[in-house]
Chains A and B, each alone.
Chain A
Amino acid sequence: MTGLLTRVRFVAGALALAFIVAMAAPVSAQQPASVNPTASAVQEQQLLKELNKIQGRGTIPDVKSYVLEHPAGQEWQHFHTVTLKWIGAVAIIGTLGLLVIFYLVRGSVRIERGRSGIKIVRFTGFERFVHWMTAVCFVVMALSGLNITFGRALLLPLLAPETFTAISELAKYFHNYLSFPFTLGVVLILFMWIAGNIPNSVDVEWVKRGGGIVGHDHPPAYRFNAGQKAIFWIQVLGGTAMVMSGYVLIFPFYGTGVAGMELAEMVHGIVAMLYIATMLGHIYIGSLGMEGAFEAMGEGTVDLNWAKEHHSLWLEEEAVRGSGEVPREAMTRPAE
């Protein structure tokens, strides 16, 4: 009996050992020779090539911080410090230069028949109020805005750093808060004057005949000539672009990420430079460039002969309206 048990135990033990060895062999065969933990790891340059941005997850509420890297910021920086400066310099200094040359060559557009002494109303008090509110805001915002782009290069070398900072900080607040009356002005100008600023065939003729500014012709025009209509549309469209991009900028990250903010700044900067250049032309013609023009917006009335020479069709309309402003006898013959 003992002999059988011993043999059974021996066989069972050998089988168990064989079993364990058999189990061990496949297990050791499953283990790889070495481990490469980075086989599936993310690679920085690969991620940048795909999206030009590396974004992940963080544990703080500031979602912006989850963007680890966005090299586009450096490109935007180059745009702001180099490209935008060139656009601004060429547009603004170029326009100023052209205006100076133009004034020296053409001179001021005079009232050829001389003043008649009779004045008629051109712009109401409300219209003038809206125009000046918008204009004042525009000038202050243009200067404070240009300070952001050019101040460091042009103004800082002339001042102590603390003084320049104080000026720039004040300029920033003026710029941001004057945006509210400026926005109101843009909207009011749109509604006030859109009716008179729809382009028509008279404008085509006016442009063809040099607009009275190239040469000494007096092409007829209604209340607003083609040049003024161009300014109107630039003001409305440019102003809207400035207002929209501007509000994106003063409410940062309200619905947009850093790329959106960079785009808003680029739109705001480029439109600003072109808008300022255009308005320099408008300011020129409304002051130096044309005798009898400034009083239209300054006092609201213009000389009858000025109106005959530059806005004859408007004059006829006013006379027909019988507002009493235009004496009928003055309308014997339209200007040539």
Chain B
Amino acid sequence: MKSFIVACIAAVLLAVIGSFALSAFQESADKAFSTTSVRLGA
């Protein structure tokens, strides 16, 4: 049971971290709208 709870928490945590990490990679809107594809950048 414990491993199940920890697993759920870990899944949610990794998902949230992933979302924040990728947001940080997001390009600013003016750069985003002038390029094609997924608009990721440093």
* Complex A–B touching at CB under 8 A: yes
Question: In the assembled complex, which residues on chain A have CB atoms less than 8 Å from the CB atom of B29?
Answer: none
Question: Does more than half of chain B's interface fall in helix, strand or loop, or is it mixed?
Answer: helix
Cβ-based interface call for A244 (8 A): no
Bound CA–CA A128/B4 (angstroms) = 8
A-B contacts counted at CB < 8 A amount to: 63
Is the pair B18, A180 in contact by a Cβ cutoff of 8 Å?
Answer: yes
Cβ-based interface call for A251 (8 A): yes
* 0/1 interface trace, chain B 1-24, chain A, CB 8 Å (1 if under): 111101110110011111100000
Interface residues of A in 193-212 (CB under 8 A from B): none
Min C-beta distance of A99 to chain B, whole Å: 23
Min C-beta distance of B19 to chain A, whole Å: 5
Bound CA–CA A16/B10 (angstroms) = 99
Cβ-based interface call for B38 (8 A): yes
Chain B interface residue count, Cβ-Cβ cutoff 8 angstroms: 21
Is the pair A128, B3 in contact by a Cβ cutoff of 8 Å?
Answer: yes
Bound CA–CA A327/B6 (angstroms) = 31
Is the pair A252, B8 in contact by a Cβ cutoff of 8 Å?
Answer: no
Question: In the assembled complex, which residues on chain B have CB atoms less than 8 Å from the CB atom of A128?
Answer: 3-4, 7
Cβ-based interface call for A114 (8 A): no
Cβ-based interface call for A133 (8 A): yes
* 0/1 interface trace, chain A 165-179, chain B, CB 8 Å (1 if under): 000000000100110
Is the pair A132, B4 in contact by a Cβ cutoff of 8 Å?
Answer: yes
Which one, B6, B8, B10, B18, contacts A177 given CB within 8 A? B18
> Which of B3, B10, B18, B34 is most buried by chain A, counting CB atoms within 10 A of its CB?
B3
Min C-beta distance of B37 to chain A, whole Å: 4
Which one, B10, B19, B36, B37, contacts A133 given CB within 8 A? B10
Cβ-based interface call for A72 (8 A): no
Bound CA–CA A216/B8 (angstroms) = 37
User: Which residues of B are interface residues toward A (Cβ below 8 A)?
Assistant: 1-4, 6-8, 10-11, 14-19, 34-38, 40
Can you sample 11 A-B contacts with CB below 8 Å? A62-B36, A128-B3, A129-B10, A177-B16, A177-B19, A180-B18, A181-B15, A251-B38, A251-B40, A253-B37, A298-B4
